[in-house]
Structure 1
Amino acid sequence: MKKNNQMIGLLSMIGALSLVLGACGGGGSKAGAKTTEDGKTIIKVVRPTQNMASADSKQVKAVQDAINDYIKDKIDVQLDYEEMPAGEYSNKVNLSLANGEIDLFWTANWMGAISTDDLVQNNGAYDITEILKGSQLEERLPADVWEASSYNGKNYFVPVYKEIAEGYSLMFRKELVDQFGWDLSTVKELKDIEPMLADSKAAGIKAPLLTQATPFAYKFFLDDYAWITGNDYIGVDREKNEVVEVIKTDEYVEYIKMMSDWGEKGYIQEGDITNTNPTDSLNTDFWGISWWTDVPNNASASSRYQQEVEMVHMTKNYVDSNTTLGSTYAIASNTTEEAAKASVDFLGLLYSDETLANLFTYGIEGEDYDMVDGFIVKKGEKYDHSAWESTNVEFVALEEGEPANKVELYQEFNKNAEKSITAGFRFDASNSSAVISAVNNVVAKYGFVLQSGGYPQADVDKVLEEYYSALDEAGYQELVKDVTDQYNAWKTKQ
């Protein structure tokens, strides 16, 4: 009897475990999709309150009802819509996925337990590759976006269509440009700003070069290397299409020595090394030159930093594996095929219809926003979202303060972006996680300080030797081999 009870207990545990695993698997564990009396498929949709501390459930219900009323004659879909506080969102969605409680949800490549990488690795996202074919949704995004956001040739995510590429500029305070008559057309490489740094230092600027406590190699080596591990110590040489140890290249060593020289000359603030500079540094006269992530409307930097700035674009803009996944939708892997198709139908309409896009993004006109001279003026009290986490930028009304040509700016930006040679490749770190952790600890100790000009020039060669030795002791060469093998295997399939 005791053995039977033990067996029953074991079987119960296995059954419970199977439910959880099934909920995270790829195969429709639900008995069937929920439908309305008139045959519409009901989909549970969740997303975080990005602009509010918490959701106003009554207003969310009102928006849900308005959406359902609007789409009832357009698609056979009805929304069951819920919003969750951003701080709790990742954990709540993770639990809801395990319990099979949601169909369609928002996520991103930086969303922790429900990040795009984690969802694919844990079989938490539905493979929509076949469902997409010939759909309205497929037509709404460029082929390069679908390819770059794919995993092993399969589509699991629907990127929110906004800027789809990554590139970097140097940013100059216009007051100093005018004061010293800087000719920004002469700036072609990072080293070209040295005379301007000298001017800034002589003028008493505390941080002639404000790195924002961020390594520059990742940004300004972008035309030479594609980063495939999320770090700049290993990259793919864009010219040779080969994995290389970037930190051992002549260009990298030369760059480190230049930063050390600038550090000794006082061009780089110690606060950038210790990450103790004032958080509002860019809004003041604390700095002379810094960096900026290129966006379709670079002019927005001046209003953001409350002073006029000028830009020099230093790299191309690249569409790569993660540049399209900073804001995206996913369908739960354990949803039914009917609900998955309904989710694709809903997103297809959301990405194509301005009325629906406005409802989902801004709420109900007169209650959540007013339309003034063709622009959205938010009230922001009960319902408040932004285009970047909601819908296709081409089919949503502009907010007050946005440029009237915003859509054209985005279209031009995306049109001119270059598809990276690594677009679609994703490094599987599951076999190297311990090594990566050890390597990152070494990089944190040596790499960041080296890139920030924290060592005297006379010590750089010695410190680099110590750095390389510590990396190898941490298993760095194993990581290089793993990355190289995976990338070469992926290349052969392209």
Structure 2
Amino acid sequence: MRKKFRKMLSLSLAAALAASLAACSNTAGTGGSGADASQQDAGKTNQADAAKTNTSEFVTISYVMLGDKPKNGQFEKVMEKVNALLKQKVNAQLEVKWVEWADWQTKYNLLLASGEPLDLINVATDWLDTWPNAQKGAFMPLDKLLPTYAPITWKEVPPEHWAETKYKNQIVLIPENSYTQWVNHGYMYRGDWAKEFGITSPIKDFESFGTYLQGVKDKKPGVIPLDLNGGNLASFDGYITTKTDAIGIPVSTGPMPIFYAKSYDQRYTAFSPIFEDTFLNYAKLMKEWGDKGYWREDVLNYKGDNRAAMEGGKSGSDQHHTQTFLGEKVKMEKLQPGSDLQFFPFSVTRGNLVSMPITHGGTSIGARSKHPERALMVYELLRNDQEIYRLFNYGIEGVQYVVKDGKRYRPDGYDVQKHDFYSNFWGGRVDKNEIPDGTLWDGAKDLYASYDKIKKPFPYGRFVFDKNPVNNELTAITQVVSKSLPAIAYGKAGDPAKAVETFRAQLKSAGHDKVLAEIQKQLDAYKQMVESSK
């Protein structure tokens, strides 16, 4: 099957390449809706479209990735091999354009708005403002291009998944829909220390987690209980999740969404928990934690690496998602033997876990790309050619990894400083080309099974909020959230009751009520669409 698949990929790309070599000009495709054409008909190679690009010209395709640019030289070594294969197969090379983590959201959105001719772009509808950027015209429609230049991807993504990638009935991104992962957030903490502090049951709420942090403060001199930086605001959503049945609505308000639905059963009823007692209680608890010294005094300006601090025994906890925990649990046993890392997922308190959208990761093409056809051909290889996929995701076999019994491990002599490699390819991973990570915790399957028992389907897959009627108000709200929420989240805003009152007043002045009414209006229309399609 594997040989047959790779032969299919080579033949599909060869067909597009052969047709394009016959062309005498280099004209970029513009895309189109293609919304009413059947997927079967659209999947046939369109020789006329293929002839629009001349692949006899060697081109460089850019790929916008999130993350700090690797500095140990391994990325360049891997890319030499990747680009040799890309040149051979589609006469192109790939150049990763990094958007580094410091002030990443602002940098990313400014880059997409700059007018620069970007090719491939890492996107996500739930954390990378895909729909707002689509409304600004940042992405190229792909309906007419996909069947020809990414035929395997086109056929393997089912129509119901393509439906979740459309803006104004046009496909504007390729979803990472065939990759198994859980990115529900929570706190990691040391099980050995928890037992030492008298905590014998798994932590399932903020109060118990606070008891753990106090234990670190009292009994582990020189250790910061929760050494986060002020840009991490996950405690806000985490607290809402543990105390209510509210679920987030995909409407961006900067560093943290503030608009929710009442519950999964009331998923079409919008509100903001900022104006509920729950938020006041959250502010009071964070003030209490801050006053007790659970994080550093300069937390709002701190830019350090908390995970590295935890791995070095200098922090008692870290905040991230399930996938990170699975790797950290094994890593911590090597770096801090006996640490028995545990995870407190926010959803465990009330069982209100919503599956992530298939567009949590994805890839778009910039609206001003000069080589969209070739960009799709490169993406097709990154996603479907097993050799290129594994190079781009894992690095060089024997240097970054070895395979034993069908699983990936680190080679003997592996030095993370010298040999570490990452590409942060979060926009096209597929299970079919994955090599299971042998370093992940063996209990992952049981954790996944516990999630599967309580998960609810993501309800907003085709909900694209049109912010145009309230664009000014959303901009103002984002500024308020960016300025005021971090101080409240780390107890640095003074009296919590006054801080919450001021925050609410600022949101009201910025246009909260108008935005909420518009969200409700569009949710009502979305509900009608969903129910009429049943």
Tell whether the structures are fold-level matches, with TM greater than 0.5: yes
Contact 1:24-1:98 at 8 Å conserved across structures = no
Aligned match for 2:323, one of 287, 291, 295: 295
Q: 1:407/1:386 Cα in 2 relative to 1: closer, same or farther (>3 Å)?
A: farther
- Give how far 1:427 is off: 2.6
* Cα distance in structure 1, aligned partners of 2:421 and 2:294: 42
Partner of 2:9: none
* Cα distance in structure 2, aligned partners of 1:218 and 1:147: 28
* Cα distance in structure 2, aligned partners of 1:406 and 1:355: 29
Q: 1:438/1:381 Cα in 2 relative to 1: closer, same or farther (>3 Å)?
A: same
Contact 1:320-1:423 at 8 Å conserved across structures = no
Question: Which 5+ residue runs of structure 2 have no aligned equivalent?
Answer: 1-26, 34-48, 101-106
Aligned match for 2:506, one of 467, 470, 479: 470
Partner of 2:195: 178
Cα deviations by residue, 1:401-438 (Å, 9 ceiling, x for unpaired):
64498997999799675422223323333443433333
Q: Any idea what SS the aligned residue of 2:142 has?
A: coil
Q: Any idea what SS the aligned residue of 2:298 has?
A: helix
Contact 1:68-1:79 at 8 Å conserved across structures = yes
- Give how far 1:122 is off: 0.5
Matches within 5 A, 1:52-451: 52=70, 63-64=82-83, 66-67=85-86, 78-86=90-98, 105-109=120-124, 117-119=132-134, 121-122=136-137, 124-128=139-143, 136-138=152-154, 140-141=156-157, 146=162, 148-151=164-167, 154-160=170-176, 161-163=178-180, 165-185=182-202, 187-203=203-219, 207-210=224-227, 212-213=229-230, 214-215=232-233, 216-222=235-241, 223-230=245-252, 231-238=256-263, 239-241=265-267, 242-275=269-302, 280-295=308-323, 298-301=326-329, 303=331, 306-307=335-336, 308=339, 309-315=341-347, 317-320=353-356, 324-326=359-361, 328-331=362-365, 351-358=383-390, 361=393, 373=404, 375=408, 386=423, 388-389=425-426, 391-396=428-433, 398=435, 402-403=439-440, 418-451=456-489
Task: Give the TM-score normalised by structure 2.
Answer: 0.65
* Cα distance in structure 1, aligned partners of 2:461 and 2:127: 22
Task: Give the residue type in structure 1 aligned to 2:197.
Answer: F
Task: Give the TM-score normalised by structure 1.
Answer: 0.69
Cα deviations by residue, 1:13-46 (Å, 9 ceiling, x for unpaired):
xxxxxxxxx9896559x99523569xxx999743
Contact 2:138-2:366 at 8 Å conserved across structures = no
Q: Any idea what SS the aligned residue of 1:81 has?
A: strand
Q: Give the fraction of aligned pairs with identical amino acids, expressed as a percent.
A: 16
* Cα distance in structure 1, aligned partners of 2:305 and 2:384: 43
Contact 1:149-1:325 at 8 Å conserved across structures = no
Report the RMSD for the aligned CA atoms in angstroms: 5.2
Q: Any idea what SS the aligned residue of 1:169 has?
A: strand
Cα deviations by residue, 1:234-286 (Å, 9 ceiling, x for unpaired):
22222322110210112222222233333444445433345477755433444
Q: 1:413/1:42 Cα in 2 relative to 1: closer, same or farther (>3 Å)?
A: farther
Task: Give the residue type in structure 1 aligned to 2:52.
Answer: A
Question: Which 5+ residue runs of structure 1 have no aligned equivalent?
Answer: 1-21, 72-77
Task: Give the residue type in structure 2 aligned to 1:329.
Answer: T
* Cα distance in structure 1, aligned partners of 2:128 and 2:286: 37
Contact 1:47-1:84 at 8 Å conserved across structures = yes
Contact 2:122-2:363 at 8 Å conserved across structures = yes
Task: Give the residue type in structure 2 aligned to 1:437.
Answer: T
Q: 1:439/1:212 Cα in 2 relative to 1: closer, same or farther (>3 Å)?
A: same
* Cα distance in structure 2, aligned partners of 1:93 and 1:442: 23
Once the two structures are overlaid, the 10-residue window that deviates more, 176-185 or 206-215, is 206-215
* Rg larger for: 1
* Cα distance in structure 2, aligned partners of 1:413 and 1:144: 27
Q: 1:304/1:448 Cα in 2 relative to 1: closer, same or farther (>3 Å)?
A: same
* Cα distance in structure 2, aligned partners of 1:370 and 1:354: 15
* Cα distance in structure 2, aligned partners of 1:105 and 1:406: 36
Q: 1:419/1:149 Cα in 2 relative to 1: closer, same or farther (>3 Å)?
A: farther
